Amino acid sequence: MKKMKIKDIDTKKYVKGFQENQFLEKLINIAKKAGEKVVYIGLVLFFMYIDTETPKKAKVAIAGALGYLLIPFDLIPDFIPIVGYSDDFSVVLAAASYVAVCLKEEHLNLAVKKMEEWFDDFEASEVEGLNAMIYKKEK
């Protein structure tokens, strides 16, 4: 199976689905279905996107990935149990890896804070391995 790369995705149509001022509201609506890890990566990407120091090229990739996450009609429809969000996870994961050079500790901290606000049982230690994998951070 061919590995998906961010450059292989037609981000233009997904960028239209991403609206900065509506992102957090829409993300919480899909949070229960998508799973905490998808939501966490989405939040990290969002906080990178709204950072004025993030380069425009990275913001385009982020907006495309976040738009893909929010639009229910994609490669694997989101309403399909268990696998519906697997393509969304792959896309946000690819985008996160692509823009990792722009990551700041502040983005991670903001995402953790929002996760703790949204999910009563969330603990920051749950995403340490994910951070290490994507952002090359120490556990």
Residue 23: the pLDDT is 78
Residue 18: the pLDDT is 76
DSSP string, the chain: -PPP-GGGS-HHHHHTT--GGGHHHHHHHHHHHH-HHHHHHHHHHHHHHH-TTS-HHHHHHHHHHHHHHH-S-SSS-TTSTTTTTHHHHHHHHHHHHHTGGG--HHHHHHHHHHHHHH-TT--GGGGHHHHHHHH----
| Positive/negative CA dihedral, 121, 138, 132, 105 | positive
Q: 43 with 118: CB under 8 angstroms?
A: no
Q: Side chain identity at 135, as an amino acid letter?
A: Y
Q: What's the whole-number mean pLDDT along residues 112-124?
A: 90
Q: What's the whole-number mean pLDDT along residues 98-118?
A: 94
Q: Which residue, chain included where needed, has tokens 């609506």?
A: 29
pLDDT band at 138 (very low <50, low <70, confident <90, very high): very low
Q: What's the whole-number mean pLDDT along residues 104-119?
A: 93
Residue 104: the pLDDT is 94
Residue 119: the pLDDT is 85
Residue 20: the pLDDT is 76
pLDDT band at 93 (very low <50, low <70, confident <90, very high): confident
Residue 111: the pLDDT is 96
